[in-house]
């Protein structure tokens, strides 16, 4: 579900950073295969945040075939690091191929398995964390990294407004406006996450309607 009108979406994409040939191939793959990915408007925003933050270290909860990681990698310095996590071995291998082709393989660590298990092996600190895995585990991911963020670090959660039939925007809207609707598991997961981060001392959160919605929470340190 897009949350921008077609004209506004076209405008955002036209004035935003343009994907290179590899990202265009990845976009075409997502369109052809029906693979969920953040898309170029969110990708460009991720790269911008990484540059504004001067990010050196990034961790992803759920990397798919490497689309968001590729955008992030373009902003990292030569001694930076991005940790990709994925439970699907074939998708993780695709991510490795894409980053290698783009010249970013030396920045990446590829972790096959559950991201919540993987994060226990990393001390951080991380400048940026992307949460984009099972919605009912978003709060757990946030809690797993909150003590591993640099001051000023940013946690970005995808699907903060919708995710096909997994997250229902109308029900989520009713929840945040104070009603008590019946929520499916995915919508409940996002509702719990937004409630959690908005109430968290030391963090400031804003939701942007790019893609299927992204929640951006900065750690004030």
3 state DSSP class of 45: helix
pTM, to two decimals: 0.95
Helix or strand run (H / E) with residue 95: helix 89-102
pLDDT at res. 3 = 81
pLDDT at res. 5 = 85
DSSP string, 50-71: HHHHT-SEEEEE--TTSHHHHH
What's phi and psi for 176, nearest 5 deg? -70, -20
Question: Could you identify the residue written with the tokens 């408007």?
Answer: 41
pLDDT at res. 185 = 96
CATH class, domain 6-219, is alpha beta
How are strands ordered across the β-sheet holding 108-112?
A: 108-112, 81-86, 57-61, 126-131, 149-158, 214-219, 203-208
pLDDT at res. 88 = 96
pLDDT at res. 36 = 85
Domain boundaries, the chain: 6-219
Provide the residue-wise pLDDT of the chain in tens; the chain has 221 residues: 668 788 998 898 889 898 999 999 999 999 999 888 999 999 999 999 999 999 999 999 999 999 999 999 999 999 999 999 999 999 999 999 999 999 999 999 999 999 999 999 999 999 999 999 999 999 999 999 999 999 999 999 999 999 888 999 999 999 999 999 999 999 999 999 999 999 999 999 999 999 999 999 999 87
pLDDT at res. 123 = 95
- The Cα–Cα gap between 128 and 59 comes to 7
pLDDT at res. 171 = 95
């Amino acid at each position: 579900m897009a949350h921008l009108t077609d004209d506004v979406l076209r405008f955002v994409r036209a004035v935003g950073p343009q994907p290179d040939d590899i990202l265009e191939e990845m976009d075409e793959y997502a369109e052809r295969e029906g693979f969920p990915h953040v898309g170029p408007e969110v990708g460009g925003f991720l790269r911008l945040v990484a540059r504004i933050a001067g990010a050196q270290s990034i961790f992803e909860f759920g990397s798919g075939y490497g689309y968001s990681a590729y955008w992030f990698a373009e902003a990292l310095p030569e001694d930076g690091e991005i940790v990709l996590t994925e439970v699907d071995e074939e998708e993780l291998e695709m991510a490795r191929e894409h980053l290698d082709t783009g010249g970013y393989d030396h920045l990446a660590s590829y972790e096959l398995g559950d991201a919540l298990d993987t994060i226990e092996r990393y001390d951080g600190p991380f400048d940026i964390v992307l949460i984009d895995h099972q919605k009912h585990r978003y709060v757990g991911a946030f809690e797993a990294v909150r003590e591993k963020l640099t001051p000023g670090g940013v946690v970005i959660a995808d699907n903060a407004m919708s995710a096909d039939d997994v997250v229902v925007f109308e029900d989520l809207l009713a929840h945040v406006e104070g009603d008590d609707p019946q929520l499916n598991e995915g919508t409940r997961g996002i509702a719990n996450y937004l409630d959690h981060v908005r109430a968290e001392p030391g963090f400031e959160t804003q939701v942007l309607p790019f893609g299927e919605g992204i929640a951006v929470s900065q750690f004030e340190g």
